[in-house]
């Protein structure tokens, strides 16, 4: 009743209003003032205010723009309103700052928006049809698009010819690979608009070469050293697969939608299955970009967890040239698990050579053929087969259930000043857990591979474990609801012999994990001290994700030391209900542990 009364009293609250006026106030100043006085609410972007002014004269502007965004979303590309507005601003004014729209009439803006939508469509057709970049995950360097929109506006809305198109695509790919717009976006956009007016696409390429320090845009083997789908060169690997005639291991058919028919669904394939590598290599090495290729989903399932020295030999014999079409080294000694690092090095060499050759063909115009456009294919997510991936998946599902925003996953985060990659986060909320409220939130489960001090310096809220982020969300919700966070033991009676014995085994499990597996579960130990053994087990089982401890012990091959394994001991099953026991069985079975 107290909380309902607090809610009802909102209707009686008086809100102070102050008007800040002055024709001399710029868009930037007004946005800054608004965000300072509205610090507890949704932040206003510069684009929001510029668009608000235009909507006063053309009320349908925002609806019209959103209809275009929805259409691109249906086609597999996810763009923001600010991004589309930036394209329209480029076409309308040739300027990067939204404040330049202050002098644009609604009629002129409507015309510029119509033109920019056409230019974006022309560019996306080229990116998808010529490069095979047919969905959002592989559409790199999206802030190069306003530059292309502006360039097309200077050429009547079309590429001059196929050679001109390929040169533009060459610049686009390299601008993305080297993070041209990862730093001061507006500064670089303005520089490139001016270059377009002065020297066209050749000028853009020359500018990019100078920023690379001496005129070299060569792709090197170590550029493919990234890991996960968030690596900057992941889209390039997909591009090469699509344009270079890579063939399926199972059928030997090229991975093109028009040839594969019903089998056109592709999936990321780990050449060395993760299960074979876990005991010898860390997560970054296992998920190395050079361990990825793309196959039809059915072929990927058929290969399963077979060793490469086994199945690659069969593929080479059955379909000569298929391995080479994926730039996979054909030396059988490199297919052995103990030679995995040598395999990665050899494949990076082959990938770099293929990338350099294709990109140079774009620049020279040698590849501007009359071949039909590539048709989109569907790339499905690989099945989750490790607790870390399951944790992230379940975390995102839980946060969405609670009303929080959808994050980007495997997301590269760049320094806004230098463009340097600071982290490849498992999940990233660039606009806060609730859009426009709070600071950007980063989940980085490999903190040793990230620049955490710089991320924190930039104001990001960084979490290095799923448990920590879930705890933060729980506390945030408790504060918002006006409730306490006190936890009380469940069925915890020290005089109960069975409960006491379970507690001793929980402590013994903690000690064994520290001594035998090198895992010090400090948070788990504090939970035991605070709420007791049974309550700790119940809390872990009730969580929407597996715990950090479960994931860490799985990585060490010691699921026998998990709480889930202990509570399924027949001696302790009576302490838990059927739902809790079933949850423990499911978790262990999912990750191939037999109880």
User: Any idea which of 232-236, 262-266, 313-317 has the lowest mean pLDDT?
Assistant: 262-266
Neighbours of 97 (CB within 10 A): 18
| Mean pLDDT, residues 28-51 taken together | 69
Sign of the alpha-carbon dihedral angle for 576, 582, 586, 588? positive
Question: Over the stretch 492-523, which tens digit does the pLDDT of each residue have?
Answer: 554 478 888 998 999 999 999 999 988 898 88
Where are the extended beta strands (E) located within 297-386?
A: 378-380
What pLDDT was estimated at residue 154? 95
Percent with pLDDT over 70 in the chain: 91
pLDDT tops 50 at residue 137: yes
What pLDDT was estimated at residue 482? 64
Token output for 7? 């809610």
Give the C-alpha distances (Å, rounded to integers) separating 38 from 32, 43, 49, 403, 436.
10, 7, 14, 21, 11
For tokens 């999206």, the residue is 142
What pLDDT was estimated at residue 481? 67
Token output for 291? 């361990």
For tokens 């991936």, the residue is 389
CA distance 35 to 53: 17
Q: Which of 143, 224, 590, 190 is nearest to 385 (CA)?
A: 590
Sign of the alpha-carbon dihedral angle for 279, 280, 284, 285? negative
Question: Over the stretch 319-332, which tens digit does the pLDDT of each residue have?
Answer: 999 999 999 999 99
Q: Which of 224, 326, 335 is nearest to 272 (CA)?
A: 335
CA distance 87 to 108: 14
The mean pLDDT of the chain is 88
DSSP H or E segment with residue 583? helix 578-590
Question: Using an 8 Å Cβ cutoff, are 280 and 217 in contact?
Answer: no
Question: Over the stretch 426-467, which tens digit does the pLDDT of each residue have?
Answer: 999 988 898 877 889 999 998 888 999 999 999 899 999 998
| Mean pLDDT, residues 123-134 taken together | 95
Give the C-alpha distances (Å, rounded to integers) separating 580 from 494, 535, 562, 588.
22, 12, 14, 13
What is the model's pTM?
A: 0.84
User: Any idea which of 297-306, 522-531, 534-543, 572-581 has the lowest mean pLDDT?
Assistant: 522-531
Residue 57: pLDDT band (50, 70, 90) is: confident
Parallel, antiparallel, or unpaired for β 378-380 and 265-270? parallel
Look up residue 384 and give its DSSP letter.
Answer: P
Half-sphere exposure of 447 (CA within 13 A, CB side): 12
Question: Using an 8 Å Cβ cutoff, are 550 and 517 in contact?
Answer: no
CA distance 468 to 530: 17
Bridge partners, residue 412, by sequence: 424
How far, in whole angstroms, is CA 169 from its chain's centroid? 23
What pLDDT was estimated at residue 6? 86
The set of residues, in sequence order, having a beta carbon less than 8 Å from that of 106 and lying 6+ positions away, is 54, 57, 58, 61
Give the C-alpha distances (Å, rounded to integers) separating 278 from 281, 286, 466.
6, 7, 21
Token output for 552? 């860490």
Q: How far apart are the first and last CA of the chain?
A: 48
pLDDT tops 70 at residue 486: no
Q: Which of 158, 148, 153, 152 is nearest to 180 (CA)?
A: 148
H-type alpha helices, 217-294: 234-243, 257-260, 274-277, 283-286
Higher per-residue confidence, 380 vs 114? 114
Percent with pLDDT over 90 in the chain: 55
Higher per-residue confidence, 416 vs 319? 319
CA distance 161 to 564: 63
Higher per-residue confidence, 263 vs 536? 536
């Amino acid at each position: 009743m107290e909380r309902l009364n607090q809610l009802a009293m909102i209707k009686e609250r008086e809100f102070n209003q102050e008007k800040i006026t002055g024709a001399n106030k710029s868009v930037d100043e007004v946005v800054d003032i608004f965000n300072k006085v509205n610090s507890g609410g949704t932040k206003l972007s510069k684009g929001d205010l510029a668009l608000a002014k235009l909507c006063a004269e053309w009320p349908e502007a925002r609806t019209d723009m959103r209809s275009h965004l929805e259409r691109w979303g249906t086609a597999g590309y996810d763009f923001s309103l600010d991004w589309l507005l930036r394209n329209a601003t480029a076409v309308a004014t040739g300027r990067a700052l939204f404040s330049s729209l202050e002098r644009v009439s609604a009629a002129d803006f409507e015309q510029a928006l119509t033109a920019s939508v056409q230019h974006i469509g022309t560019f996306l057709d080229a990116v998808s049809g010529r490069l095979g970049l047919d969905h959002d995950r592989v559409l790199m360097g999206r802030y190069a698009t306003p530059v292309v929109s502006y360039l097309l506006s200077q050429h009547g809305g079309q590429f001059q010819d196929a050679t001109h198109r390929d040169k533009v695509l060459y610049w686009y790919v390299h601008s993305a690979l080297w993070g041209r717009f990862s730093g001061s976006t507006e500064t670089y956009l303005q520089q490139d608009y001016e270059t377009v007016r002065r020297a066209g696409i050749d000028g853009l390429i020359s500018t990019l070469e100078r920023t690379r320090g001496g005129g070299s845009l060569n792709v090197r083997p170590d550029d493919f050293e990234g890991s996960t789908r968030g690596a900057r060169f992941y889209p390039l690997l997909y591009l090469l697969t699509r344009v270079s005639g890579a063939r399926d291991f199972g059928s030997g058919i090229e991975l093109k939608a028009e040839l594969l028919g019903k089998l056109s669904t592709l999936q990321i394939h780990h050449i060395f299955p993760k299960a074979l590598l876990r005991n010898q290599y860390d997560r970054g090495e296992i998920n190395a970009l050079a361990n990825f290729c793309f196959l039809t989903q059915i072929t990927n399932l058929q290969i399963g967890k077979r060793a490469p020295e086994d199945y690659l030999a069969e593929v080479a014999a059955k379909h000569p040239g298929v391995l080479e079409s994926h730039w996979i080294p054909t030396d059988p000694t490199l297919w052995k698990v103990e030679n995995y690092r040598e395999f990665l090095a050899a494949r990076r060499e082959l990938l770099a050579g293929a990338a350099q050759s294709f990109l140079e063909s774009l620049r020279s115009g040698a590849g501007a053929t009359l071949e039909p456009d590539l048709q989109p294919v569907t790339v499905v997510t690989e099945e989750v087969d490790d607790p870390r991936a399951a944790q992230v998946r379940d975390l995102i599902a839980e946060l969405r259930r609670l009303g929080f925003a959808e994050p980007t996953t495997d997301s590269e985060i760049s320094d806004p000043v230098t463009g340097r990659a600071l982290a490849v986060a498992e999940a990233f909320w660039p606009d806060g857990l609730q859009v426009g409220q709070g600071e950007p939130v980063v989940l980085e489960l490999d903190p040793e591979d990230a620049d955490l001090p710089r991320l924190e310096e930039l104001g990001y809220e960084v979490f290095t474990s799923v448990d920590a982020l879930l705890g933060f969300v729980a506390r945030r919700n408790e504060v918002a609801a006006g409730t306490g966070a006190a936890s009380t033991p469940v069925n915890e009676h020290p005089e109960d012999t069975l409960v006491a014995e379970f507690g001793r085994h929980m402590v013994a499990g903690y000690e064994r994990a520290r001594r035998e597996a090198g895992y010090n579960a400090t948070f788990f130990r504090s939970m035991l001290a605070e709420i007791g053994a049974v309550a700790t087990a119940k809390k872990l089982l009730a969580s929407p994700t597996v715990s950090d401890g479960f994931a860490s012990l799985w990585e060490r091959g010691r699921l026998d030391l998990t709480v889930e394994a202990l509570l399924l001991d027949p001696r302790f099953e009576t302490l838990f209900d059927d739902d809790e026991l079933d949850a423990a069985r499911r978790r262990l079975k999912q990750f191939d542990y037999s109880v």
